[in-house]
Amino acid sequence: MQLELTFPRQFVIDRPISKKGEISVSFVKNARSRRYIVRVIDEERVRVTIPRGGSRREAMAFFQRSIAWVDRRIEEMQRVGSLSTIPWRAGTKVWFRGREESIEIEKTGEAGRIRISDIEIQGDPLAGDLRELVERAMRTAAQKELPARVEVFANQMSLRPSRITIRGQRTRWGSCSAKGALSLNWRLVQVPLEVSDYVLIHELSHLQHLNHSSRFWQFVETFCPQYRVHEAWLRSHGDIITNR
């Protein structure tokens, strides 16, 4: 069970790092966390997680060292927010398999085809906004590809999930229930294959350790030695992909 304690007072930084010139920073103590974590919630709010044994003073120092990174994340959120209202048309760049791929429309006589990377998409290429068609195609790809990749790693790890579900979560890349059911985000087909594989290994590892203990991370590292690199990629790109 996760224990969270939110400090009653919010600290307001008097340095302009958002459109309104300030952000509120809340400090949350998490007994299960192993390190200090800074998370940008939105353009005006930041949360700093304090691990067991940590202090608010150290958390504040960690935040101050992270301000340049917070600046960049807020700028990205502002850019993504401005793009989210723009219809997806031919030429729009969309993340797919770790790269920004352009939506292409190929003319074939009087008809046309929509493509992104190696996927051909069924639908009207003259539709005003192609987002729904493209995302539906990527979800279909995820439903075919992700369970197959899970089976590969499940065999390597000698583990067997009770069920695999592909969903469209906004805040999680995946989860594992106490009954051994995996729920995976279809947007994993948008990230690099090695990063997606890490998420699958991470969730499968919960079949062995349903926690984030040191033994859990040691188990993950056995099958994914570069997991820290992949975690960093998700932290730096995750919000851009899921909000775009």
| pLDDT digit string, tens, across residues 47-59 | 888 988 888 889 8
On the question of pLDDT at 9 being above 50, the answer is no
Q: Report if residue 229 sits inside a domain.
A: yes
On the question of pLDDT at 19 being above 50, the answer is no
On the question of pLDDT at 205 being above 90, the answer is yes
Of the candidates 20, 48, 83, which is a domain's last residue? Answer: 83
CA 61-65-67 angle, to 5 degrees, is: 115
From 179, 185, 227, select the one nearest 202 (Cα to Cα): 227
Task: Tell me, yes or no, whether 39 and 67 share the same domain.
Answer: yes
Pairing between β-strand 45-51 and β-strand 11-13 as defined by DSSP bridges: unpaired
For the ranges 9-13, 35-39, 179-183, 199-203, which has the lowest average pLDDT? 9-13
Task: Tell me, yes or no, whether 219 and 150 share the same domain.
Answer: yes
Q: Report if residue 72 sits inside a domain.
A: yes
More confidently predicted of 123 and 53: 53
**CATH, residue 204:** 3.30.2010.10
pLDDT at 72: 76
Q: Report if residue 30 sits inside a domain.
A: yes
Task: Tell me, yes or no, whether 104 and 118 share the same domain.
Answer: yes
Q: Report if residue 88 sits inside a domain.
A: no
Task: Tell me, yes or no, whether 228 and 164 share the same domain.
Answer: yes
Q: Report if residue 180 sits inside a domain.
A: yes
Q: Is the pTM of this model over 0.85?
A: no
Q: Which two tokens stand for residue 77?
A: 């959120």
Average pLDDT rounded to a whole number, residues 88-106: 88
Query: How many separate domains does the chain show?
Result: 3
Residue 33 pLDDT class (50, 70, 90 cuts): confident
Residue 217 pLDDT class (50, 70, 90 cuts): very high
**Cα–Cα distance measured from residue 188 to residue 164, given in angstroms and rounded to the nearest whole number:** 14
pLDDT at 4: 37
Average pLDDT rounded to a whole number, residues 7-19: 37
Task: Tell me, yes or no, whether 122 and 181 share the same domain.
Answer: no
Q: Report if residue 113 sits inside a domain.
A: yes
Across the chain, mean pLDDT equals 81
Task: Sort residue 181 into left (φ over 0), alpha (ψ -120 to 50) or beta.
Answer: beta
Task: Tell me, yes or no, whether 78 and 44 share the same domain.
Answer: yes
- The range of the structural domain enclosing residue 122 comes to 93-130
pLDDT at 123: 77
Residue 22 pLDDT class (50, 70, 90 cuts): low
